[in-house]
Amino acid sequence: MIGFDYLSLIIPPLIIPTSTIRLCLSAVAPPRLIDFPPACLYRNPLMDRATRNALLYPVYLPAFLLAFSRGIIIPILPLYAKSFDISYSLIGLILAGEGIGTLLADIPAGNLLRRMGKKPVMILGVSCVTLSVLGLTWAQSVPQVVVLRLMSGLGAALWNISRHAYLTDIIPAARRGRAISVFGGIMRIGTFAGPVTGGVIAGWFDLRAPFIAYACLGVAAAIVSAIFIKRVGENESDTTPHTGGHLFRLLKSQARNLSTAGAGQLFAQGIRSGRHIIIPLYATDVIGLDVLQLGWVLSISSFVDMIMFYPAGVIMDRFGRKFAIVPCFLTQALAMSLIPLTSSFTGLLLATCLMGLGNGIGSGTMMTLGADLAPAGSVGEFLGVWRLIGDLGHSGAPLAVGNIADVLGLSTATYVIAGFGLAAGGIFMILVPETLAKTESQTG
């Protein structure tokens, strides 16, 4: 550990230029201090009333509730796993459990979407996630925790793919960047207050109490989904029967997109997932922060992340998807590589704020890119494969962090995850073509 926190001298000029702050606040700051949904949802001239009504309560409100719930347990899960007195590798396995369950269920969820429709799959997914997280309250062994995390991943796959297909169906391609970035922004708004709330709950009670809070909000999300989601017109992509070889033909026809953009998606989700294990463990094991301080670090960085969501959508729809994607992951790579240079609350906070800035620039980018690439007639199946690739990165990163940290140390694991971000930025910059022109020509 270094004795002086050099990062406190490096980052402040890099974090948020004044012009960016003005742009973000003018886009997202409502007249009232707390306003849901964000005012930009109503002021967006490219999002008509029908689109707003189809998104607001069916998708945006449940997403907000679930994101807040997820934020509550982000700083808790690594410490909860550590309470079983296990190695970094097993902590990584527990944190990766949800991702493993998700990737196992991604392709079946895409097929189930065709059979059941979007509304039943959404409700089933939310319910499964809620019950599995509640079960962590009473888990007494590592195998029980792993099984519950796998079940949570199953529910997450159902919810993720059904909402992604719903958004793809009802949003025209020319409006997709803004609408999906607003979705990502609403999730970030929910995540913003979650970590400090989880830290306060855990500090007042114990490490298991936040799981009960999660379950209460999850029940609310399920009720909202059941009430407000209407069955949108099931288009040809949802009703045409497919033979057993359809998935193979889809993989063959989309091999180029899935090998290039898919590789970028793999590394992109790897760095996004890896930060959720590296930051809590580095904060507690290396710097010595308590759970409440950790909650503040994550919440403040989430705020920086949150205020960038609408500019991200404007960039995607006005200039191109890659203009948001490439800076997103290169900035996160830089921020991740700076974490081992920190030795205090302030230094770690600055590094995570830079990371939040990078992630915020990429709000909704992977969902938008997946929707752009999804072929008509196979939207559900393609998105199942697309999310499977991303979930491999999401679940693999905690395992990589745990195993590398056990052998070579936590700092080395941090640099490996930074390499994931560098790889993602490079792949999207060099190998993946711009999809905005393609989607405009399809809708023109």
- pLDDT tens digits for 195-218? 888 888 988 988 899 999 999 999
Question: Would 1 be classed as within a structural domain?
Answer: no
Instruction: Measure the CA–CA gap between 407 and 434, rounded to whole angstroms.
Output: 40
Tell me the pLDDT tens digit for each residue of 225-284: 888 877 654 544 444 445 456 667 777 878 888 889 999 999 999 999 888 889 988 998
CATH number at residue 302: 1.20.1250.20
Give the per-residue pLDDT at 323.
93
pLDDT (0 to 100) of residue 160: 86
Average pLDDT over the chain reads: 80
Q: Provide the pLDDT confidence category of residue 349 given band limits of 50, 70 and 90.
A: very high
| 126 in a structural domain | yes
Would residue 282 count as lying in a domain?
yes
Split into its structural domains, the chain has a count of: 1
Does pLDDT of 96 surpass 50?
Answer: yes
Is residue 335 predicted with pLDDT exceeding 90?
yes
Q: How many CB atoms lie within 10 A of CB 407?
A: 11
Structure tokens that stand for 70 in this block: 């997820």
- Domain extent at residue 87: 7-229+238-443
pLDDT at residue number 28: 36
Residue 2 lies in a domain: no
Which stretch, 91-95, 107-111, 308-312, 354-358, has highest mean pLDDT? 354-358
Q: What pLDDT is recorded for position 109?
A: 85
Distance CA 397, CA 276 (A): 10
Residue 122 lies in a domain: yes
Given pLDDT bands bounded at 50, 70 and 90, which one contains residue 51? low
- Using the predicted structure, report yes or no on whether residue 329 has a pLDDT greater than 90: yes
Element (H, E) at 87: none
In this structure, is residue 130 part of a structural domain? yes
pLDDT of residue 236: 40
- Phi first, then psi, for residue 31 (nearest 5°) are -60, -35
CA angle 388, 309, 201 (to 5 degrees): 80
- Nearest Cα residue to 125 out of 110, 147, 138: 110
Q: Is the pLDDT of residue 116 over 70?
A: yes
Please state the φ and ψ torsions of residue 140, each to the nearest 5 degrees. Answer: -120, -5
| Cα–Cα distances in angstroms (integers) from residue 270 to residues 30, 96, 123, 241, 264, in the given order | 34, 11, 27, 35, 10
Going by pLDDT thresholds of 50, 70 and 90, the confidence category of residue 221 is very high
Report if pTM > 0.85. Answer: no
Whether residue 193 lies inside any domain: the answer is yes
Residue 397 lies in a domain: yes
Q: Is it the case that residue 26 has pLDDT exceeding 70?
A: no
What pLDDT sits at residue 332? 95
Report CA torsion sign: 181, 186, 187, 188: positive
**At residue 86, does pLDDT exceed 70?**
yes
